[in-house]
Structure 1
Amino acid sequence: HGAPDATPPQRTIRRLTMRFADGDAVYRRRGPWTRDMTDFLEAEHGLIEGGPYRCDLLPILWERCHG
Structure 2
Amino acid sequence: MRSPDVNAVLAGFRGVAGYLGAVLGADAYKKYREHHEASGHTSPPLTEREFWRDRTDRQDTSPQGRCC
TM-score scaled by length of structure 1? 0.23
Greater fraction helix? 2
Which of 1 and 2 has greater Rg? 2
